[in-house]
Every structure is written in structure tokens, then in C-alpha cells.
Amino acid sequence: ALADATDAAPATAATPGADADAVVRRLRATFHSGRTKPLGWRLDQLRALRSLLTEQSETFLAALNADLGKGAAEAHRTEIAFTVNELDHTVEHLEEWLRPKPAAVPDAFLPAEARVVRDPLGVVLIIAPWNYPLQLALAPLVGALAAGNTAVVKPSELAPATSAAIARLLPRYLDPEAVAVVEGAVPETTALLEQRFDHIFYTGNGAVGRIVMAAAAEHLTPVTLELGGKSPVVVEPGVDLAVTAQRIARGKFLNAGQTCVAPDYVLAVGDTAAALEAELAAAVHAAYGDDPAGDPEYGRIVNERHFDRLTALLSEGRVVTGGGHDRSTRYVAPTVLADVPPTAPVMREEIFGPILPVVPVPDLDAAIAFVNERAKPLALYAFTGSERTKQRLAEETSSGALVFGLPVSHLAVPELPFGGVGESGMGRYHGEYSLDTFSHTKAILDKPLG
Ligand code: NAD
């Protein structure tokens, strides 16, 4: 299956510009034919996408293992089952979501009728990153198709086996005149970004997010930017630290820490730091044993560049547990760090790997100030027994999401919007929010003649 996923010819076009132009023209012609608009077509495509994921799951699991050393259980849960759930939720509710919503008309205009409808946009571009290379390419596509659009999917070149599998298999299941996969790196993506799209949905880092937004501005194309950043975890005294540590570790070390909403660092309030460090070490040991390198469910760092970046972050601070690494296999042990100054590199940039600093703060005020002095995070997590603390965090901080008690879990609640604010991004998706993102919300007013 692995050979199957990797033996497809790389789609590195000699003239990415001409190719990009041709692809967008073809999809725009399909859109203008009206074929993608009926509910039946949309549901057929969503069901076909579901079949792709379930029938080809072995191929995708092998590709994800080749790219990121993902274990089969984790990869199935976070990449395949996740996207299937998103599909099922959308197929179940799409007809109801698309029903025109009546709007009240002021007396002065009566008799008249008004309603709000969701119009497809046209041709949309989805640019995906490498960390969940299947989920983050296909979950946005669910929304794009549900809204009746045609779409170009650009998978990440840094997950080449998954990119090749998507490029080879997607056109076999979906309408190839409506959905195109363009593989490639910066030149191919740059060529795509020169085209006029009706929406661009980008997931990745903020530096490229700025490039995407600038390119989109040329055509006045709206963008969704799903970015990252440092998502803090606030831990207050009085909570069960063993349970807290287990749940933080589970969210942090998933995909070897390469998760946009992974807990980035812990703010240990009051006197919790020492006991929490010990519990985190115990939680890592309970999850991965004496030798995490030998656990097939523990992932690897995507490439040498990120491996070198991560191991450099270990130069400051005290290692509570972990710290080991091996460049030849791109293994970095699940690591808990203490005594890191706020000026250390590990506290200045998004970690995006299996390193978890624990930073003591005297009280909740200091924790809130620490969060508010930095860029708005994609997620803020807290473990507290106090309703007052929950209320204060909700009212006094700004983040893409605020989650109490179970980091990363909000992602899998399809009725919750997923997205960032400020430096962590703009726009939102999942479930009905995806439909909104990939639609134009149109006003219709109908005043009878006579
Ligand atoms: P990446 O390097 O795979 O880049 C993402 C995409 O941008 C790729 O498809 C790539 O080809 C394209 N790209 C790269 N350079 C480009 C350029 N100069 N011009 C045009 N396109 C270009 O992934 P990454 O950015 O390293 O991903 C990690 C980041 O993404 C982290 O910051 C993480 O937090 C964030 N992220 C956010 C979410 C979310 O849902 N909010 C999810 C996953 C990752």
C-alpha cells in the first residue's frame, strides 16, 4: 500500500503558471454550467468523499506513517474518523442548513417578502499544511462542496506520500471537472495564488498567511487563515493534578506535539508547579513507557529542519522528563521543561513539537496578564475548580477557543466554530460554519408589483 501511495509521478509542472490558469478555467466552466449547485450533486460528492476515506484508509494510513511516523490508531482517529464525522454531520444537516431563512420586513414596505439564502461562491482554493495532511486538506473540502463550489486542493509538499495519495485518489472518487488537486511547493502555490479565486482557505503559519492574504488582495478574494501560535494551559491550585497532567500530556504529545491546538506551555498558578512537573513526568511514563522511541503510536518530527529547530529549543531550562533525541530517525522524546525564562526561544516562538515548558505564576491575575501580553492564541486551556476563574478567563482574555478540562477536544465538536483571532487567524469552519465560510449570504427582497 505504501508503494501504492508513493509511486505516483510527482506533479511538478514545468510551467506552473500555465497549468494553474488551465485548472482554474476548467473549474470555472464547470461552475458556470450549474452542475455543482443542486443539493443532489453536493450530497453525491460528500458521500463519494466518505467512500474515498473508508475504502482507501489503508493507503492513507501507510502514507501518513511514511510522512510523519503516525501510528495507525492515532492516524485513523485524527485524520480519517475525524473527517468522516465531519462528512456525516454535514450530510445529515445540509438540506436544513440550505433552507432559505425568512426575514421580517418593516411595515413601510409591506406587502413584501424577504429571505436570506446561501449562494455558492464559484472556484475556491484550499492550501493545506503537513501536520494533519489528510484532515486539513479534506475537512475544508467538505465545506467547499457542501456549499456548491468547485475547488482546487493544494496539499503540503512536506508530507509527500499523503500529497501523492490525495492527488492520485481524489479524482477517482470526486467529479474531476469540479475538484482538482495541484501538488507542489512554493512555485506551484505562487502560480495558483496569481489566479482569481472566489475564496482562499489557508492553513499553516502566519508568515505564509501574510503572503496568501496579499495575493488575495489583488483580486479582492476573501480569505480564511487558519494559523497557529502558542496555546497556553492555566492550571490552578486545588485541581486533581494527576488527571490534569494526563490530559495535558495526551493533547501535547499527540502527533509528537505537531498540532496547531497542542498545549504550548503551562502556566502553573501559585504553588502547583513542582507537583505538576512530577505528575507530567508520571503521565508521560504511563503513556509511552521507558522508551517512547519504541512505541509505534509515538510520532516523528516531519523533517530535519524542524528537528534541528526543536532540539535547539532544549538548550535553556531544566529537563524534568525526556530531552532525548535522534536525528537519524527524527525522534524527539516527549519532554517537560522547567525553569525557562520568558525570554528563552522556547517561550518566544510556537514550539510545534513535543516540548512542554512549565512556567510558574503567582496568581490568576499574573496568568491572565501573561496571556494578554502575547499574541492572541488559537486556544486557551484551563484546569480549575472555580466558576469565577472560568468566568474571568472568558471575559478577560481573547483566543480562538477557550476550553476547560480537556485540551484539543473542541476540535471534534462539529457544532463549535474552529478558527483563530488576531495572530492565530481569521474566519472559522467545521459543520455549519464551513458552509458559511464557503457561501455568500445573499439578501433577497420581493415586493409585489401593483
Ligand atoms: P507548510 O510548510 O506545509 O505550509 C502550509 C502550506 O503553505 C503548504 O501547502 C505550502 O506549500 C504553502 N506554502 C509554503 N510557503 C509558501 C509560499 N511562500 N507561498 C505560498 N504558499 C506557500 O505548513 P506550516 O506552515 O509549517 O504548518 C505549521 C503551522 O500551521 C503552525 O504554525 C501551525 O500552528 C499551523 N496550523 C494551523 C492549523 C489551524 O487549523 N489553525 C492547523 C494546522 C497547522
- Check: CB of residue 26 under 8 Å from CB of residue 185: no
CB atoms within 10 A of CB 117: 14
**Cα(143)–Cα(402) distance, rounded to whole angstroms?**
24
Nearest to 85 by CA among 40, 135, 156, 128: 135
Cis peptide before 111 (omega within 30 of 0): yes
pLDDT value of residue 3: 38
Q: For residue 78, give the DSSP letter.
A: I
pLDDT value of residue 15: 66
Residue from 260, 305, 408 whose mutation best tests the ligand 1 pocket (most atoms within 8 A of CB): 260
pLDDT per residue, tens digit, the chain (450 aa), is: 333 444 444 444 456 778 999 999 999 999 999 999 999 999 999 999 999 999 999 999 999 999 999 999 999 999 999 999 999 999 999 999 999 999 999 999 999 999 999 999 999 999 999 999 999 999 999 999 999 999 999 999 999 999 999 999 999 999 999 999 999 999 999 999 999 999 999 999 999 999 999 999 999 999 999 999 999 999 999 999 999 999 999 999 999 999 999 999 999 999 999 999 999 999 999 999 999 999 999 999 999 999 999 999 999 999 999 999 999 999 999 999 999 999 999 999 999 999 999 999 999 999 999 999 999 999 999 999 999 999 999 999 999 999 999 999 999 999 999 999 999 999 999 999 999 999 999 999 999 998
Q: Cα(52) to centroid of ligand 1, in Å?
A: 24
* Residue 225 backbone dihedrals phi, psi, to 5 degrees: -115, 110
Q: Which class for 289: exposed (0-12), middle (13-18), buried (19 or more C-beta within 10 A)? A: exposed
Residue from 227, 261, 309, 421 whose mutation best tests the ligand 1 pocket (most atoms within 8 A of CB): 227
DSSP three-state, residue 395: helix
In single-letter form, the type of residue at position 412 comes to: A
CA-nearest residue, atom 24 of ligand 1? 204
pLDDT value of residue 18: 81
Residue 419 CA, closest ligand 1 atom number: 41
Q: Which class for 180: exposed (0-12), middle (13-18), buried (19 or more C-beta within 10 A)? A: buried
pLDDT value of residue 450: 81
399: left (phi over 0), alpha (psi -120 to 50) or beta: beta
Q: Estimate the share of the chain in helix, then strand, then coil, as percent rounded to the nearest 5.
A: 50, 20, 35
How far is the CA of 101 from the CAs of 96, 205, 347, 430, 445, in angstroms? 10, 36, 47, 20, 12
